A = this chain, B = another copy of it.
Amino acid sequence: MTVELINTGSELLFGKILNTHQQWLCRRLTDLGYSVTRQVAVPDTGESIEAAVRDGLSRADLVITTGGLGPTCDDLTRERIAALLQRPLHPDASVAENIARYFAGRRLTVPPRTRVETMVPEGAEVIPNHHGTAPGLAMTVDPNPFRPGGQVSRLVMLPGPPRELRPMFNELVVPLLSRWFPREEEFVCRTLKTTGIGESSMEERINDPLQPLVDAGMELGYCARVGEVDVRFVARGKGAAERVAEAEAITRRLVGSNVFGVEDDVLESVLVNEFRKRGLTLALAESCTGGHIANRITNISGASAVLLAGYVTYSNESKVRDLGVQEATLTAHGAVSEETAVEMAAGARARAGTDYAIAVTGIAGPTGATANKPVGLVFMAVAGPGGVVAQRKVNAFDRETFKYLTAQQAMMMLWNALHAAA
C-alpha cells in the first residue's frame, strides 16, 4: 500500500514557510506502518493542483492533500479535485452548522465567503473540523480513471493550518485509514526519547547488543535532533511486540539514565507529570534562556499546579532584586558564573517557596563574549530539598538553538535530581 502526499500552497514554493506538514504526516504515516513513496508541493494554481492529483492517483493507493480548502480566492483544492473527478459540489448542512457554531462561540458573524467551505463533492465523506471552519474530505476514487486498469485509489483532503490538520488526522483520519486499509500483519513501532547522549555514542552502546533482534528482522533507527536522540524499533509479523519489548529492555538497561520518555514525550511533559504525581512545586530563574524553559513548561496542561513562579532576570539588577543574588557574587565572579547560577536557583526556590528551582545564566550570543567567557558558555543549577547542584556547558550555536539545548540540559538535570531523590 503506497501513499503520496501533495502539499498545496504558493508560500511553500516561494520558500516563505517550512513544510512542517511533510515531516509530521510522513512521521505519523510511517509510525502507523504505511509507506510514503512521494511528496509533492505545488503552487495554489488550479492547473498545478489538478496535475499533481492526477499524477498521484495514477500511482498511489492513497493520496493525501493539504491546504487549499479555506474561503479565499486562492483556495482551489476542493473545486479542482471535484472538477477533475467530475463530482458536482453540493452544500452540506453539517458543515454549515459547524461554521455557525465556530463563529457564534467567538461572538462573530459568519463571513459570507465561508459558504464555499460548506460545498462537498458528490460521494465524498465530510471529516469534521473541530478546530476551524473548513472540513476535511475523504473520497474513494473507483473506478480510478488515472490508474492502469482503473484500480481504486483513496483521496483525503486536509485543511492547511497545523492546529486543524493534526487533531483531524489523529482523531478522524487514522480510524478511516484502518477501515480502508486493514492491517494484514502485526506491526509495532516504538520510540524511546533520550537526551544527553550523541547519536554515535548511542550507536556504539546499543548497536551490537541489539544485532540479534535486527538479524531477526527488527528495524533499528536513530533520529538525532538538537539535544535529543530518538531510538526507534519497528517490527512486523508474528512476535513483533515481543521483539520490540526485548529491544526496549536491552536499551533501557544500557542507556536508561538518558531515556526520559517514549513516543511523543517531551522533557517538559514528563517533568510536569512527575511533579504533579509527587505533589511537588517548581520555580524558574532564567537569564540567557529568557523564558524559554517557562514557556515550554507552561505549554503542558497542568503546569499551573507545578510552576509557582518564573523569573526572567536578564539584568543584573533583577538578579539581585528578584532572586537575592549578592552584589559581591556578581562583582567577584560575574553574572555568568557557577556562583551566580547557584545563588539564582537557591534564591528562586526560597522566594517562591517551592520544592525545586532551576537557574540558568550564560551567553546566548552572538554578542556578549569576553576574553575568558566565550559565546555559548552557560552555567545551570538545580536547587532542591537535598541542596544545589550545578554544571557548566559550552553550547556554541545560534541563539535559538543555544536556548533550546540549554533548556534540555537544565531540564534533564532536574529530572536526574528528582530520580536521585526518589
- A residues in contact (CB < 8 Å) with B: 9-20, 22-30, 35-44, 48, 52, 55, 70-74, 105-107, 111, 113-114, 131, 161, 163, 189, 191, 198-201, 203-204, 207, 221-226, 230, 232, 284, 286, 289-295, 297-299, 301-304, 307-315, 317-318, 321-322, 351-353, 364-368, 394, 396-401, 403
Q: Is B295 within 8 A of A291, CB to CB?
A: yes
Q: Give the oligomeric copy count.
A: 2
- Known pairs A18-B18, A310-B311. 9 more at Cβ < 8 A? A10-B221, A16-B23, A19-B19, A163-B397, A286-B294, A290-B303, A291-B294, A294-B312, A311-B311
> Can you list 15 residue pairs at the A/B interface with Cβ under 8 Å?
A11-B223, A15-B24, A15-B26, A16-B191, A18-B22, A18-B23, A19-B23, A40-B40, A74-B222, A113-B200, A284-B291, A290-B298, A292-B295, A302-B367, A310-B310
**Assuming A23-B18, A200-B113, is B299 touching A400 (CB within 8 A)?**
yes
* Pairs A-B, 9 closest by C-beta atoms: A290-B298, A15-B27, A291-B294, A310-B312, A15-B26, A291-B291, A309-B318, A291-B295, A295-B295
Q: How far is the CB of A279 from chain B (nearest CB, A)?
A: 15
Point out the residues of chain B lying under 8 angstroms from A309, CB to CB. 311-315, 317-318, 322
Q: Is B29 within 8 A of A38, CB to CB?
A: no
Give the CA-CA distance A366 to B204 in the complex, in Å: 43
Point out the residues of chain B lying under 8 angstroms from A308, CB to CB. 314-315, 317-318
Q: Is A36 within 8 A of B23, CB to CB?
A: no
Looking across the interface, which residue of chain B has its beta carbon closest to that of A292?
B295
**Assuming A71-B200, A290-B298, is B399 touching A105 (CB within 8 A)?**
no
Which one of B71, B200, B292, B302 contacts A298 once the chains associate, using CB atoms below 8 Å?
B292
Point out the residues of chain B lying under 8 angstroms from A14, CB to CB. 26-27, 30, 36, 189, 221, 232
Which among A41, A317, A353 has the highest number of chain B CB atoms within 10 Å? A41
Give the CA-CA distance A368 to B284 in the complex, in Å: 22
Give the CA-CA distance A76 to B71 in the complex, in Å: 43
